[in-house]
Chain A
Amino acid sequence: MNEKNNTLLIYTLLYFGFLYVPVLFLPIFSFNDANYMSFPLAGFTTEHYEEMWSKRNLHKALWASIKVGVVASVVSTTIALFAAKAFARYKFRGQKISYGAIMMPFLIPEIILAVAILIIWVNLGFKLGLVPVTIGHTLFCTPFAMLILIARIEGFDFSLEEASRDLGENAWGTFYRVSLPLYLPGIVAALLLSFIISFDEFILAFFLTGSDATLPMYMWGQMRFVQKLPHVLALGAVIIVFTTLIVLLAFWLRNVGQGKGKKDIAIKI
């Protein structure tokens, strides 16, 4: 019995090590006073962070990623909210097909999605840039946002909306005064996760950005030069910290206000 438990413990430790040790190297080497990622460590420095701070192109790329991320997350969460409400609340013809259609970008290899958008965009005579990237990210984020929102809305007691209608509110008033406040934690969670997905996304950006790099594109560009590696490590470390915080916040929000019995619904994604 005891032996069995030890095996499980070793497996668990190995598993988490496999997951997180490579990620931990980034922050460690980002404070290492050397250009190469190798042991032994050469000494502590914050020089790489200072270098990161001074790069104009990095700032531009960061700003581009934020713009794309905000627009893509807001648009995809809005689309996802309407869709999730329809799927969770009503039975209608073509329900399964339209659900599948929205989930499709989730399953199609990203590179194919990227190529498809590229071909259409160029053939329509438009210039590559942040606009097609935003469109691609919106497509890609919508299924994630919808899964989160469906989980939130499925546990929703729709007699609350009927009660609001009964108490004299019209459909919009009901949405604004009852549905929206109750969906809000789910909406914020969907916004945050969509933003993170867009912020991290590389393949679509690689095909569609043209000259305006997003942050992952910028990092990719810097990787080619050995002497530029350390400040990318510093940037990577900062991004890890921020995305972890945002994801934790999103998960926490997703479960806020859901009764204990409903938690399983929230976690089933």
Chain B
Amino acid sequence: MNNSFIQINNISKHFADVKAVDDVSFEIKEGEFFSLLGPSGCGKTTLLRLLAGFEYPTSGNLLIDGIDITALPPDKRPTNMVFQNYAIFPHLNVEKNIQFGLRKLGLSSDEIEKRVKDVLSLVKLEGYEERFSNQLSGGQRQRVALARALVRQPKVLLLDEPLGALDKKLRDEMQLELRTLQKNIGITFVFVTHDQQEAISMSDRVAVMNNGKIQQLSAPNDLYKNPENIFVSDFIGETNFLKAETKLSDGEFISVSIEELGEFKIKNNLNISANSTDVVCSVRPESMMISKVKSDWDICLDAKIKQTSYLGEMTRFYVEAKGIDKIITVSSQHFDNQSFENNECFISMSLEDISLLNKK
């Protein structure tokens, strides 16, 4: 396994005054399912297009498997792409679409036939050879786009929000299927999405991007549990931000005054400086507990439910808690909106679920 299979070195891409990608460096491992995640306009698609060769960087260089591809045109790169709108050639049928990229590889006609047959069975589209793009469903088009890229056996498969156009149920199915497919064939996948759930559920590692920069690059569970900044904490999952101020630091822990709740000793993973007002605490709705009676957790507050929304697998409560001057969100699988008398309740949190972040 090559840990620096794809090397992205100080890549910037400017469009006029806009820094779409701003001095980004990281590496992608061979055989990894790697996601670029971020809101629209964060630079993720530009970065993917730089890898594909549709854009050339303003500065920096790109290497795949040790070869500098920075200046190579798309047709000379060991990458293939699944486009957001699939870009199936409308004048060619499924079979011709899949064969399209094989012509220049110098394969025998037997080999071409075999590869097309294999890839069709891989994406479960046997029997659809003669169909045209307008005779296919969204999911089938997505499979054709996948087959057309994979049949060339690229070193890296680039996917530009390929599931965006599918309905929810089909998207969930395709997520699983793509993940299984990737594990089976072992090709490195670089997957672009704005859907955090999608990125988290499929990827080995995720790079969260915003304003052309990588905000955090880590494994999905780390992203969720240990966000490194306020953007990641907000973008991945849901969270409540609490006003905070740091006091004295003693190495691993730091004293933090949170809202009107008092001072607490919190783990200082991000080496945040003492005596700073430029910090915030984040606590996730599902890490808090809502209850009818007082608990013995680190923090337990009298609270009043302002609004509830029933989501099936859980209920979300919007509560006003004593000592916190904004509505906070708590989710619970054990209670629903009928459970509380006069909307009186207690909410509890444990210090290890509170993360301390820099505001900027």
Contacts and interface: CB of A to CB of B under 8 A. Distances in A.
Interface string B296-324: 00000000000000000000000000000
Interface in B76-100: 79-81, 83-85, 87, 89-91, 100
- Most A C-beta atoms less than 10 A away, residue of B75, B79, B81, B148: B75
Nearest to B76: A168
B89 A170 contact: no
B222 to A, nearest CB: 33
Nearest to A167: B101
Interface in A137-160: 157, 159-160
Contacts of A257: 90-91
B91 A157 contact: no
Interface string B21-50: 000000000000000000000000000000
B208 interface: no
A35 interface: no
A166 B52 CA distance: 7
A162 interface: yes
A182 interface: yes
Contacts of B90: 160, 182, 257
A169 B85 contact: no
B217 to A, nearest CB: 26
Contact of B152 (A164, A165, A167, A181): A167
A166 B104 contact: no
Interface residues of A, number: 18
B129 to A, nearest CB: 18
Interface string A249-260: 000000001000
Given A181-B91, A182-B91, A167 B100 contact: yes
A219 B278 CA distance: 89
A168 B89 contact: no
Nearest to A163: B87
Contacts of A181: 91
A163 B75 contact: no
Contacts of A178: 89
A169 B84 CA distance: 20
A173 B100 CA distance: 11
B54 interface: yes
A165 B83 contact: no
Contact of A169 (B52, B75, B80, B148): B75
Give the secondary structure class of B's interface.
Answer: mixed
Interface string B49-88: 0001110000000000000000001110001110111010
Contacts of B52: 162, 166
Most chain B beta-carbon neighbours within 10 Å: one of A162, A182, A257: A162
B176 to A, nearest CB: 26
Contacts of B101: 166-169
B105 interface: yes
A173 B85 CA distance: 22
Contacts of B148: 163, 167
A163 B85 CA distance: 11
Interface in B323-349: none
B209 to A, nearest CB: 22
A162 B158 CA distance: 13
B87 A170 contact: no
Contacts of B75: 165-170
Interface in B145-160: 148-149, 152
Interface string A35-68: 0000000000000000000000000000000000
Interface in A166-188: 166-170, 173, 177-178, 181-182
Contact of B74 (A157, A162, A173, A182): A162
A168 B53 CA distance: 12
A249 to B, nearest CB: 20
A18 B266 CA distance: 89
Contact of A168 (B83, B87, B104): B104
A253 to B, nearest CB: 15
Nearest to B134: A259
Contacts of A167: 75, 80, 100-101, 148-149, 152
Contacts of A163: 81, 83, 87, 89, 148
A176 to B, nearest CB: 12
B37 to A, nearest CB: 22
A162 B87 contact: yes
B47 to A, nearest CB: 16
Nearest to B104: A168
Nearest to A159: B87
A8 B91 CA distance: 44
Contacts of B81: 162-163, 166
Q: Which 7 A-B pairs have the closest CB atoms?
A: A167-B101, A163-B87, A165-B74, A159-B87, A168-B104, A168-B75, A181-B91
10 contacts: A159-B83, A160-B90, A163-B83, A163-B89, A165-B54, A166-B74, A167-B100, A169-B101, A169-B103, A182-B91
Interface of B: 52-54, 73-75, 79-81, 83-85, 87, 89-91, 100-101, 103-105, 148-149, 152
Given A162-B54, A163-B148, A167-B75, 12 more contacts: A159-B83, A160-B89, A162-B87, A165-B54, A166-B53, A166-B75, A166-B79, A166-B101, A168-B75, A168-B103, A169-B103, A173-B104
